[in-house]
Structure 1
Amino acid sequence: MKKSLKKVRLIILMTALIVTYFFCERLLGIKTEHGIRQASDMYVQPEDSIDVVFLGSSHIHTNVNTAQLWSEHGIAAYDYSGADQPLWMSYNYLKEICKYQKPKLVVLDLFSVAVYDTEYFKDFIFLSDNLNGFKFSLNKIEMMKNSCRFETLADHFPSFVTWHNRYKELSEVDLKQLFATDYERMAFKGYTPYFGVEEKAEPQEVKEVTELEPKEAEYLQKIKDYCAENDMELMFVTAPHVEEADKAHEIYNRVEQMALDEGYLFLNGMKLFDELGIDCSKDFNDESHLNYWGSCKYTRYLGKLIKESYELPDRRGQEGYESWDRHVEEIKRKVEQNA
């Protein structure tokens, strides 16, 4: 009898500790919309509803307007990206979303490949933005193994180490996220627009070609293989930017050669400022990102190209896709607040 009571007490204690931990995680956890929310809110999306997944750096979730893709084309898309995300993390992100969704098209951003080298990622300052919203699994262990040095892992994992002192800075955002229902979270599709305006000079095109670093080439091939094995189309993109433009051009030129040789579509926004209608005096938020108005121009061109190049259903009005209508309304409210 005493042994049974001890077991019951132990179970109650363990349950209480687990519930308390997850409550604290929900309340105190860092809630950036530059990777963490993109990862965490993927898990509440209606199963098998995402037809197009966009992978990569912040150039995805600031430049690819998923509300516009829905409004203009009925494309059920999700920006599943994180700040400065390297290809080896995009590969694990791709495997993760395929546990819950069956995307028909994978669109891969190449900004981090072009601007940063593998030395930069040894002390990756945005690691938590790409880890914290990701559920613990063998896939996450593999991603951590490929993405950081063991001696620095304790600065980012478990996620507790990044938020255990945040009680000093709790805000309304934390309380809102704490009580947000899955229904409310479904309306987030990853898109996080910027509303600043900075005048920039259009970069000059560069003809030289630079090879990808071995690790980048390896994981680009892994992504291509995974898409082929799972009957998913793969497309490459980069949005207009001026950060490290010369270096970026050289990598994009190499990927463009590969895409042409292997039959992939590559939308190189660095060569299309005029076609996209980008006005460098008002369409940039900073040297790396378009603002909301620039993202609308980029997305209009991108959406038209996708619809012309791939067979995708128009999901507007279909049962189970109401959350994309709510997403459109949320983005409208955000624009009105920042107009």
Structure 2
Amino acid sequence: MLKRFYNNRFSIIFAIVTILSIWYWDGVLSIKNDDGVMQAAALYYQPRNTVDVVMMGSSHVHYAIDTGKLWDDYGMAAYDYSAAEQPLWITYHYLKEVCKTQKPKLVVLDVYSPALQKDDYQYKWMLPNALGMRFSLNKMQMFKVSVEKEHFSEYFPSFAVYHGRLHGLTKDDFTYPIRKFTYLRNFKGFKPMTKVTPQPRPQITQKSSGGLTEKSELYLRKIIDYTKQNGIELHMIVTPYVITDEQELVFNRLKEIAQENGIGFTNANHDYDAIGLDFEKDFMDESHLNYYGAEKFTEYLGKEITSRFDLPDHRGEKRYKSWDANSREIKNSINAG
């Protein structure tokens, strides 16, 4: 045995060096976008079966829901598993992906995207929605319903997408493979932003319902069925933003579907005063809350969730120490400016 190893030592060393090189350069060159890529990538580094609440949907989730605050206030093991303008057919496959390694008790589903985008194939933010998910049959099925055949090579395989990054690499890119495990284990998806952009306060007058596309409704019902079949509670939300009556039309239809299925529906755009939002200070842009608005909305959402669902308090438990780290890192990033 030792003689065989000795005779093949150079081949074995070459194979090991090759594998390590591919691992390292894949990490260096990978796109580290935190509007979906890192939210999806970090999921695989969460301790198995520790995530109790999965926040899913568009970028409204990871800008508006502070996982650190939910942990500090309730010991809630929450994770923002979201991506920019994510359509419901991608959310459906994200839901199947999270259930490979976690047994969530509750899915909080942001339904902003079906009110914004009506196309059956949405390419503008496809990369952040796709790159963080590992290769699997589920990912291929997601591509099948999200990307037309002529565009497939633009998104798969992943290394074909980011091979041109050599000229834009930074010091952080080169150290990323070394610090990746700790960084992704502690990251829970939330993206705190301190930029302040005053916004007009919307006046909602829409009372009718409609405008939901056939494809969006199909995948919403798939999500509802999947959560029921797997014993997962589901709650739908709309986070605060500068809403239009055209979008409210769709939210009213989504609320009807939720009610038909005995699912809670919270449109926070009807609760600006209860949340305590200041439209001069609490928004990053017309579509997203900044950190200050997110703290107010997270407090509001935390009370809503805990009043409806019985969730465990994991503070002090060894397996959940990465949530302590997540809370500290969020506060440190804000204090550092």
Q: TM-score range by the shorter chain?
A: over 0.9
Q: Which amino acid aligns with 1:45?
A: Q
Matched, 1:286 2:285: yes
> What residue in structure 1 maps to residue 56 of structure 2?
55
**Contact 2:39/2:83 (CA < 8 Å) preserved in 1?**
yes
Which whole-Å CA distance do the structure 2 matches of 1:229 and 1:143 have between them?
Answer: 20
**Contact 1:249/1:270 (CA < 8 Å) preserved in 2?**
no
> What residue in structure 1 maps to residue 216 of structure 2?
216
Matched, 1:269 2:264: no
> What residue in structure 1 maps to residue 308 of structure 2?
309
Q: Which amino acid aligns with 1:39?
A: A
> What residue in structure 1 maps to residue 127 of structure 2?
128
Return closer, same or farther for 1:15/1:216 CA change in 2, 3 Å cut-off: farther
Paired residue secondary structure (1:128) = helix
Which whole-Å CA distance do the structure 2 matches of 1:112 and 1:10 have between them?
Answer: 52
Displacement of 1:327 after TM fit?
0.5
Displacement of 1:12 after TM fit?
7.3
**Contact 1:42/1:97 (CA < 8 Å) preserved in 2?**
yes
Displacement of 1:13 after TM fit?
6.7
Which whole-Å CA distance do the structure 1 matches of 2:136 and 2:53 have between them?
Answer: 24
**Contact 2:63/2:294 (CA < 8 Å) preserved in 1?**
yes
> What residue in structure 2 maps to residue 173 of structure 1?
172
Summarize deviations over 1:18-57 as a string: whole Å, max 9, x none.
Answer: 5433322200111011111101111010110000001111
Structure 1 range deviating more: 199-208 or 316-325: 199-208
Paired residue secondary structure (2:86) = coil
> What residue in structure 1 maps to residue 3 of structure 2?
none
Unpaired runs of 5+ in structure 1? 1-6
Displacement of 1:262 after TM fit?
2.2
Displacement of 1:211 after TM fit?
3.9
> What residue in structure 2 maps to residue 235 of structure 1?
235
Which whole-Å CA distance do the structure 1 matches of 2:334 and 2:142 have between them?
Answer: 35
Matched, 1:203 2:229: no
Displacement of 1:202 after TM fit?
1.3
Summarize deviations over 1:122-163 as a string: whole Å, max 9, x none.
Answer: 4x1211111111110000000011111111121121111221
Q: Percent identity?
A: 40
> What residue in structure 1 maps to residue 110 of structure 2?
109
TM-score with structure 2 setting the length: 0.93
Paired residue secondary structure (1:235) = strand
Q: Which amino acid aligns with 1:289?
A: H
Q: After TM superposition, list the pairs within 5 Å mapping 1:78-97 onto structure 2.
A: 78-97=79-98
> What residue in structure 2 maps to residue 36 of structure 1?
37
Which whole-Å CA distance do the structure 2 matches of 1:20 and 1:127 have between them?
Answer: 28
**Contact 2:41/2:184 (CA < 8 Å) preserved in 1?**
no
Which whole-Å CA distance do the structure 1 matches of 2:153 and 2:31 have between them?
Answer: 16
> What residue in structure 2 maps to residue 140 of structure 1?
139
Return closer, same or farther for 1:136/1:107 CA change in 2, 3 Å cut-off: same
Structure 1 range deviating more: 201-210 or 105-114: 201-210
Paired residue secondary structure (1:179) = helix
Displacement of 1:337 after TM fit?
1.7
Q: Which amino acid aligns with 2:210?
A: T
**RMSD of aligned Cα (Å):** 2.1
> What residue in structure 1 maps to residue 296 of structure 2?
297
Return closer, same or farther for 1:176/1:332 CA change in 2, 3 Å cut-off: farther
**Contact 1:115/1:247 (CA < 8 Å) preserved in 2?**
no
Summarize deviations over 1:213-238 as a string: whole Å, max 9, x none.
Answer: 11101100110010001000000011
Displacement of 1:14 after TM fit?
6.6
Structure 1 range deviating more: 178-187 or 131-140: 178-187
Displacement of 1:270 after TM fit?
1.5
Which whole-Å CA distance do the structure 1 matches of 2:15 and 2:203 have between them?
Answer: 61
> What residue in structure 1 maps to residue 246 of structure 2?
247
Summarize deviations over 1:74-124 as a string: whole Å, max 9, x none.
Answer: 1000000111111001011000010000000011110111111125x34x1
Q: Which amino acid aligns with 1:72?
A: D
Displacement of 1:290 after TM fit?
0.4
Return closer, same or farther for 1:151/1:14 CA change in 2, 3 Å cut-off: farther
> What residue in structure 2 maps to residue 330 of structure 1?
329
Paired residue secondary structure (1:236) = strand
**Displacement over 6 Å in runs of 4+:** 7-15
Summarize deviations over 1:145-184 as a string: whole Å, max 9, x none.
Answer: 1111111121121111221121111113213422115234
Which whole-Å CA distance do the structure 1 matches of 2:19 and 2:149 have between them?
Answer: 26
Which whole-Å CA distance do the structure 2 matches of 1:144 and 1:225 have between them?
Answer: 21
Summarize deviations over 1:247-287 as a string: whole Å, max 9, x none.
Answer: 21111111122222321111101211111111111111001
Return closer, same or farther for 1:181/1:169 CA change in 2, 3 Å cut-off: closer
Q: After TM superposition, list the pairs within 5 Å mapping 1:66-77 onto structure 2.
A: 66-77=67-78
Return closer, same or farther for 1:181/1:163 CA change in 2, 3 Å cut-off: closer
**Contact 2:65/2:298 (CA < 8 Å) preserved in 1?**
yes
Paired residue secondary structure (1:208) = coil
Structure 1 range deviating more: 287-296 or 155-164: 155-164
Which whole-Å CA distance do the structure 1 matches of 2:176 and 2:18 have between them?
Answer: 21
Paired residue secondary structure (1:152) = helix
**Contact 2:242/2:286 (CA < 8 Å) preserved in 1?**
yes
